[in-house]
Structure 1
Amino acid sequence: MELPQLVAQFVETQNANDSEAYTECFTKTAIVHDEGKTYTGKEEVRAWIEDANQRYRSVMKPLQYDESDSNGVLTAEVSGTFPGSPIVLKFHLKLKDGLIDVLNVTG
């Protein structure tokens, strides 16, 4: 599947469990919504993904990507060391200046 460069980088850095490179996909003021919690700014996003990487060691397998205007939805099978693995999640992306400004992860 052909993904836009930013989305491909987002997936690759997640699959490598590279929290630093993953965080570089986001704007300075990015907002992430995941598992009922909200993380604001690069430092909180980095802390969130570092914790998730340590606990779950998750890997994404893209299934579908849809984009309109500055919004995209990545549907991916996510596997890792969490109950119910693998699961299909949707990553709702709002893009700004070539980076992810808002990420909302849904089941």
Structure 2
Amino acid sequence: MKLPENIEGLIRAQNERDSTAFANYFTEQATVSDEGSSYSGREEIKQWIQQATEKYNMQLKSLDFKQTGSKGELTVEVTGTFPGSPAVMQYNLEFDGTSISSLKITG
């Protein structure tokens, strides 16, 4: 499956545990919703992904990606040290150009 460069880069940054590179795929005012919490702006997103990766040792594998206009849905298999691993999750995305303005994780 051929992914857009920004989605491929986001997954690569996650799997390489590069929280700075991960956060740089988001706009300055982007929001992330995950496990009942919200994070705003690149710095909070960077801290969130760094803590989650350290806690759960997460790795992502893309299963599907669909995009219509400024909205996208990425289906990933997430493996790590959390109960129920591996888990299939949906990354519901909104884009501002090629940058992510919103990410809601469900699964």
TM class by smaller structure:
over 0.9
| Runs of 4+ displaced beyond 2 Å | none
Identity of aligned residues (%): 41
- TM-score, structure 2 normalization: 0.98
Q: Provide Cα deviations, 1:53-85, integer angstroms capped at 9, x if missing partner.
A: 110111111110010001110001100011110
Which residue of the partner structure matches residue 10 of structure 1?
A: 10
Q: Provide Cα deviations, 1:21-49, integer angstroms capped at 9, x if missing partner.
A: 10110000000000000001111111101
Q: Which structure 2 residues correspond to residues 83-102 of structure 1 after superposition, within 5 A? A: 83-102=83-102
Q: Which structure 2 residues correspond to residues 1-107 of structure 1 after superposition, within 5 A? A: 1-107=1-107
SS in 2 for 1:17: coil
Q: Distance in 2 between matches of 1:50 and 1:11?
A: 14
Structure 2: gaps spanning 5 or more residues? none
Report how many residues are paired.
Answer: 107
Structure 2: which amino acid aligns with 1:55? Answer: K
Structure 1: gaps spanning 5 or more residues? none
- TM-score, structure 1 normalization: 0.98
